[in-house]
Structure formats: structure tokens, C-alpha cells
Amino acid sequence: MAEDRDDIQKFIEKWRDSAYGCFSSGHKFCREVCPVMQVTRNENHSPTAFHANIVAMEKGGLTLTDIAQDYVHCTLCGACELRCPNTLFTGDFYRHRTQTVKLVKAVRALAAASGIEQPNWKRWVEATVDRKNEPVLEVPVEQEHVADWAKGLDIPIGGETILFCDCEAAFYRTSVPRATAMMLKKAGVDFGLMREQWCCGGPAAEMGYVDHARSFAEHNIADWSAVGAKKIITLDPHDYITFTEDYPEFFGEDYDFEIVHITELVAELIREGRLELSREIRRVVTYHDPCRLNKRKGIYESPREILRSIPGLTFRDTDHVTQWSYCSGAGGGFSVERPDLAREISRRRMQRASELEVDTLVSACVWSERPLSASGREHNPGIEIRDLMELVAEAAGLDYGGVTR
Amino acid sequence: MSTVALTDPVIDELRGILGPENVLIGKAARYNRTRVPAPFPVHRWSEYVPEVVVLPENTQHVSEIVKLANTYRIPVVPRGGGTGLSDGAVPLRKGILLDIKRMNKIIEIDLENRTVTVQPGINMLKLNQDLRKYNVFYPDDPASYPCSIVGGRIGTSGFSLIAGRYGHTRDLVVSMQVVLPTGEIIEVGDGGGRKIRKSSTGFNLKNLFIGHQGSLGICTEATLELVPRPEVEMAAFFGYPDFETAYKSTGALAKSGLASLASVVLFDEKKVEYLRRDDEAYIPQPPEIRSVIATAMYGTVDEVRPAAKRFLKIARDTGGKYLGDEVSQGDWASRHDRYATPLHGRLLNKQVVPMSWHCEDASINYTFIPQVMKEWHEIAGKYIEKFGIFDDWGCFFYSNSAYKPWGDYLAEIDIGIWEQKMDEENWAAWVECKREITRVSLKYQGSITSCHGSSREGDAEFVPVEMGGGFEVMKRIKKALDPNNIMNPGKNMLDQAYEEE
């Protein structure tokens, strides 16, 4: 498929003014916080270049084919948007936030629609469509086993509140959803599972396959509506983004669900005394701010509040602003296309943790836990990767089981 | 000089030197290494696109690339962070764009002799993050501190906001390894010895290789000064009823002789008006404040505490009103990225449009500041009225001299330019505006540029005027070191060195 001139023109018109906001500044303060740029040191991968390309396309200097490959080099973490002086110092007054994540997704979508496809993304999305769940590597994924993690926990199907368990947690690290579910039950939270949960569709949207993403969304929303759900609890920050950003964009005002991220809910349960953490955990930990929680959603207090309420824990924090430049390397489809670079991002994150002389790195994003564990095994064998919910369940005296890898 | 088209064999040779992954020929790679944040003739973008981008990782790579370029007479343009406010890193003659950002390793930290040796592609903020655990820092602090890199600072002879205490880039580079335009690798310092700060042996070559805009070679390693982390950074902002009072107070503060004084910055009335355009650009001040001075003292508690007492008295005695800790500390902390965002741009009818930023950086003696400021604003006003794409964002005057923050000032008029409307006519108007501004600096015995370099249209043509007889020496040096004019050709009028045979 060739580049469609009308589509390209519409795309340029849509993004040009926003691109000039960056182009006119051109200061590149984003560059040294960008996790990918820190590793590749290649100006093509800088958020500034992502915007400048649009101006160059408008001027007839570059085509979609010239630029498409560069937009693979982004974890969609959002650090660049926060570090942009346009956002930092004029954002509130002008109601402006530099929109790089959306731009990258838009270019990827335009590229895929124009037949410029990335082979691993294509395979990944095809497999997701085929199995209704992401092809989580190393373990078999089949729709009929999507709720196997919940065996023996006696969780009902349906209800007003649904716990949405993403693919990685459902198939790969089942200790996370088990710990979460048991803890919620202990705190007296009523919730159920979907009748048939499919992938949230977020990864497909991030890789540029928006139609597929939308069909996943349609299925999931139909399932929620059928059981009368009003509130969705997400474990995974990626799902949280999909449900609060992609779904509203697909369905507009018709989409009316309360979306809650688990760390916000658990912090509240602890604060209100509904969840008691009494078992000591003798660990020296630091916390990894998941990009999508910290940088894209501004959720960085509740995980820290939770960690500080776990007895016995020594918490060596790195503040959330310093962590703008950190990433596990897992997000935005980046690791699927560029595993080599993603591994280096993971290594650097683990290096930062090891400098704090901790025995545990706690994350609140199950997708970050696999690459960080892999890197830890190779470079920092003294550091274990744990999910925040696993620690909370442990501190609540729960023996949650499941697989922790 | 004519440009030699790059042939496939040259690309192949570059790949042989660097490995294929470090040689980029894609269009996007080349387009994104042409421009800098300074106003850019975006309608003529394609004229500046280099033919190939190379990403060397070590000195040997750089030397081999330069030798190859010299053999085939291909221009080489070194590029650091690409954050400069003049055209040092813009390839005027296409050729090979040598991007040094992959050369970003710390080679040695010597806490006893107080140096850190780095590759030039490292950013100062990142360097200082790594130095923090040793309780030392590298005090080169430009507005672009979070994004500019050491090599670019050396190539342009950068200005540091805290130079009153710690010196500018040229004072902070102890020695360097340089690849000459013919590919030889040399060491330059004050004399010999990588960590020697003062010597009388031979010529002082170090300063020759600082601020040449990539026209005499490429720095591949730099040994830098380490200083103790300050125990105190005391910022103090003062408000004044008018520019005249603030100007006099600036002179008194700068001449105080207090060694911990790192910086004195005077904001003129236009600048304060500009900063009142919205509530985030500057922490709001009462209307009677019409001019401001920002100052900062760095050092140990024992130095800064008594010095600050005397300093505050001087400010008060000369009409200044301390603006409080919140403004002082908050504004100083955000000094790197607060002041020039495109969204503050306004047309004459007050419409907000995203504007790019021209930052004039002349060096002007204290006594001429009021006159230069007046003439600059008149020039800006004329072009705003006539062309409808410009905006006057006011003036700053920064203490300019290292260790002795008095006498001359980096005089900055900030002009917004609506780049979306850029075409041949508007670009010509801008260059003419720039020339008028430059002429004023020279008329009052100043220098065109304190730190950005004189590498762009509107500046470059005045280099022979400003340098006088020294320009003849510059040309001879250029030709002796770079017989084929391959290093960043077209900058600083140095092409003239090759035209007079």
C-alpha cells in the first residue's frame, strides 16, 4: 500500500500546530530524560525530532516512509512531555501539554494503515487477535485459561465492580492477581471477574493497529455492560491508560465507567483501616515508578503511602521527578521490536537500584517485572523484583500462591 | 568552495571505520541534524541537509573520519547537543555531519588533583548526577544545562550563569584532546600535562581550541575542573521602581568584591512587562516593581552568610527591595527553562502565536548598557510594526566576566519570531533586523557575541570588522591547520582565507 496523499495531508494539518510548539522552542530538554534516547544517543529518536519531522513533512522535505521507523523508538512513557518547558512553565496558563505520546501513536497508526509495518508488531497483534489475549512469551496463552489464575479463590462472575487482570498477570505472573484478589476480599471489597475477558487492546493501539484495538474494546465493554458493571479495577498501569484514554476516545460520552487503579484503592483501604498490615516484612526496598502511573497519570503518592505502611520495611526512595528519566524498557511495544535496546534500559534501571544497596525493587506494573527480573538475574543477583500487591498481601498475612517469576 | 558529492565508496569507507550502525544516510537522520533552536529559515530547510551522519564512539573514529574527509575534500560539521543559539552546528555546505553524542563516557575522576576527564558527548546535568556521591561538581551552568553537552560548550566557548564564582567553560576546561583538520590527534592545555592549570611553556593553545565553532578541529576528550559542591546557593532577587535605579544598583552589587558572588542579572522594564503576560512566566510582582535584579551567591556557609549580609545592605542602600525567599529561590531554581517559551509570543493585536526565540548575546561595557538597550528596542519596534511576525521580549544583562563580575555584561535582547510565517521576505527582514542590532553593539565598542558564536547571517559578516587586524591572523591559522577548508566551512567568514591566492 502506498502513502495516501489525502490521509497524509489531513495528518499534517492535524499535528502541524502542535509540532510548531516544539519546533519553535527546539531546546531539547526532553532528550536526556528520554529512556530510549539515553541509550541510543541518536537524535532521530528524540521527542524533538518526532515533532520536527511533521514540520519537515509540511515543507515537503520528508515523507512518512522516511520517518516511520524512527517512531518505533519510544516506550510511550511520557517523560518528554513533562520535561518540556512548554508544559512545565506555560501549561496551566495556556491549557497546554506537549503531546508526544499521542503523536507517536498517530504516526504508528498512519504507518500501519499505509502498509509500513513492523514485522514483530504485526506478528504480535495477529497472535493477539487469534488468541484474544497477548501472546505472552514463554507460556501458552489460550482464551479458555484466561481466568485460571483465580482457581480456588471463589471469585464470582460479574457484579458492579470488575477486577480486570491483564494478559501478563493472567498468564505469566499469576501471583500478582492472586495477591490482589485475596487482599481485596480480606478488606471486604465486593468484586467479580468478566465472563470472558479479552486483551484490553492497548498494545495493538500502541503498535498502530487501531481497528483491532477497538474491536477488543468493543468486546470488553459489551461484557462489562452485560453484567451491569460500573467500576473497573485495573492491576496494570497499561490497562489503566487504555481504559481512561483509548476507550473514551473510541466511544465518547457513551463510555461511562469508573476506572480505578489498584494502588489508589489499596492506599485508601489501608488509610481507612479496612486492610490491616501487621506481618513484618524485613526487606530493604526501593520503588520503581511505572512510567504510565508516574509520568502519564501523576500517580506516585499512593504506592509510596502503601510502602510506608508496611511494617518492617526499610524504604529507600528515589523521588518521582528523578524517575522521569527511568523506565523498565517494557512499554509501548518497544521491547517487542527492539529487545536489545529495551534490555539496556532495564539494565540501567537495575543499576540505579543497586546503587541504593537494596535487596528488593518493588514495582506496581507487572509488565516491568519480567524485564527487570531478567536484568537483575544477569547483573544484580542480590536484588529481587516484587510487585507492590504481593508485598501488601504478604504483610496482610495472606498466602496467595500463584507463579512468581 | 565547491561541495564534493559523496560517493558510495566514501559511505563504504565510513562504514568500514565505524561499523554500519554508526553511519546514517536516511533522510530523517540528516534533516534532524540541520537546525538549532535559533530562528531558522524553515522554508529553506533542504539547503542545510548533510549528506551523511556519522556517530563515532572514540577518538580513533573521529581521526579516521577526518582523515577520510580531508583526502576527499568533504566538509565535516561537528555537532553536539544541537542546542546552540547560533549556527555552529548547522551544516552550511552539506558533507559529513559528525554527531558526538555517542561519545559520552566518563574516563577518569581524579579527586586528589580535582579533575574529571570525559568524552565530549556528555551532558553536564548527567555528569553532575554521577559526581554527586563524591561531593564535587562541574560548575558549567548555561541556560541549556539540562540538554547541552560538553563538546558544544567547548566549541562555542559557552557562558555559565555562575561564572562570577566558578568561571566559564574556557576557565573550567583544564586540557583537551583535539583531532586536527588533517586527522592528527594532539593534546592542548595551558602547557603540557593534562591536569596542569598554569604554564608558560610555548603558546597557550588551549584557548585557540575553545570557541572556534568546529572550524579548527574536534575535541574528543576533555579534562575538566572539579570544585566542591557549594554548601549554600543563596539566590536573592530585588525589585526597583525603574530601570535607572536598578542599573545603578547592578553596578554597585557587581563591584562589591564579594568572592562568593556568582551572578548578577538585570531585567529591564520591557522584560518585566513581558514576564507579566501570564502568571507562570514569572512569580507576579506588585505594579510598582518595574525592573528586577537577580543575584546568586555560592560557597560555604562561612563565606556566604556574612557576604549576604553586606550584599543585602548594598541592594537596599541603592534602592532595591528584596522580593522574598519564594521568588528568589523558586525563580533561581527554574532559571534554566523558565524564560523563553514559544507560547509567550504575541502579535501586535495581542494574539498568542508560538514564536521561536532569538537571543542576542553581545558583550557590552557597563557604561553603554542604557544606550544600547534603548537603540535595540527602537530597532525591534520598527520591525514589529512593519512585518507583524516579531515580538520584543525585553532585555537581560548578565555579569559577563569570570571571577570578576563587573565591567562588562552579556547584553541580551530576546526577540520572538513567528516561524510558521517564515518565507524569503520575512527571513531577509529578520537578517536585516539582526544586522542593525549587531551594528549597535559594535558602535559602542562591544563584541557581537559573548557565547553563542558569530556563525550566522547577521553576525558573521561583522567578524572581520570586530576582529580588525586579528582577522588576518585568524585566516592564516585557519589555513595552516585546515589546508583544504573541510572543518565546518562557511563559518565566521573564514572562507576568505582560501579566496586570496
Q: Enter the ipTM.
A: 0.94
User: Rounded to 5, what percent of chain A is helix, strand, coil?
Assistant: 55, 5, 35
Nearest to A196 by CA among A169, A165, A175: A165
Q: Do A56 and B45 touch (CB under 8 A)?
A: yes
For chain A, where do the domains classified as CATH 3.40.50.1860 start and end? Answer: 143-268, 276-395
Q: What's the pLDDT at B2?
A: 40
The CA dihedral of A152, A153, A156, A161, to the nearest 10 degrees, is -160
pLDDT at B265 over 50: yes
E strands present in A289-391: 314-315, 360-363, 384-387
The mean pLDDT of B22-45, rounded to a whole number, is 94
Q: What's the pLDDT at B6?
A: 61
CA distance to partner chain A, nearest, from residue B340 (Å): 8
Cα distances (angstroms) measured from residue B32 to each of A18, A43, A54, B170: 18, 7, 11, 29
Which B residues, 272 through 331, put their C-beta within 8 Å of a C-beta on chain A?
Answer: 278-281
Q: Do B126 and A26 touch (CB under 8 A)?
A: no
Q: What is the pLDDT along chain A (405 residues), one digit of tens a residue?
A: 556 789 999 999 999 988 998 998 888 899 999 999 999 999 999 999 999 999 999 999 999 999 999 999 999 999 999 999 888 877 777 777 889 999 999 999 999 999 999 999 999 999 999 999 988 877 888 889 999 999 999 999 999 999 999 999 999 999 999 999 999 999 999 999 999 999 999 999 999 999 999 999 999 999 999 999 999 999 999 999 999 999 999 999 999 999 999 999 999 999 999 999 999 999 999 999 999 999 999 999 999 999 999 999 999 999 999 999 999 999 889 999 999 999 999 999 999 999 999 999 999 999 999 999 999 999 999 999 999 999 999 999 999 999 887
Cβ neighbors of B263 (< 8 A, separation 6 or more) are B161, B162, B163, B164, B165, B294, B295, B296, B398, B399, B405
Tell me the chain B residues in contact with residue A31 when contact means C-beta distances shorter than 8 Å. Answer: 81, 147
Q: Do A61 and B31 touch (CB under 8 A)?
A: yes
- Reply yes or no on domain A143-268 having CATH 3.40.630.30: no
Query: In terms of residues, how long is chain B?
Result: 501
Q: Do B31 and A62 touch (CB under 8 A)?
A: yes
pLDDT at B281 over 80: no
How does pLDDT run across B290-301, given as a tens digit for each residue? 999 999 999 999
Q: What is the DSSP string of B207-237?
A: GGGSSSTTSS-EEEEEEEE-EEPPSEEEEEE
Q: Which fold would CATH assign to domain A276-395?
A: Rossmann fold (3.40.50)
pLDDT at B1 over 60: no
- β-strands B261-267, B291-299: how paired? antiparallel
Q: Which CATH number fits domain B232-443: 3.30.390.10, 3.40.462.40, 3.20.20.70, 3.40.50.300?
A: 3.40.462.40
Tell me the chain B residues in contact with residue A52 when contact means C-beta distances shorter than 8 Å. Answer: 31-32, 35
CATH architecture assignment, domain B8-99: 2-Layer Sandwich (3.30)
Q: Which residues of B229-267 are buried (b: 16+ CB within 10 A; e: fewer)?
A: ebebbbbbbbbbeebebbbebbbbbbbbebebbbbbbbb
The mean pLDDT of B161-189, rounded to a whole number, is 98
Q: Do A66 and B27 touch (CB under 8 A)?
A: yes
Distance CA B119, CA B61 (A): 13
CA distance to partner chain A, nearest, from residue B386 (Å): 22
Q: Do B337 and A88 touch (CB under 8 A)?
A: yes
What does pTM read for this prediction?
0.95
- Contact between B142 and B161 (Cβ < 8 Å): yes
Interface test with B, best of A17, A20, A24 (most B CBs within 10 A): A24
pLDDT band at residue B279 under the 50/70/90 scheme? low
Q: What's the pLDDT at B72?
A: 96
Which B residues, 221 through 240, put their C-beta within 8 Å of a C-beta on chain A?
Answer: none
How does pLDDT run across B323-360, given as a tens digit for each residue? 999 889 988 888 887 766 777 889 999 898 889 999 99
Q: Do B341 and A90 touch (CB under 8 A)?
A: yes
The domains of chain B are located at: 8-99, 106-228, 232-443, 460-498
DSSP state of A402: S
Across the interface, of B36, B49, B126, the residue whose CB is closest to A32 is B126
Q: What's the pLDDT at B501?
A: 58
Tell me the chain B residues in contact with residue A86 when contact means C-beta distances shorter than 8 Å. Answer: 341-343
pLDDT at B473 over 90: yes
Distance CA B416, CA A24 (A): 10
Q: Which CATH number fits domain B106-228: 2.40.160.40, 3.40.50.720, 3.30.465.10, 3.40.50.2000?
A: 3.30.465.10
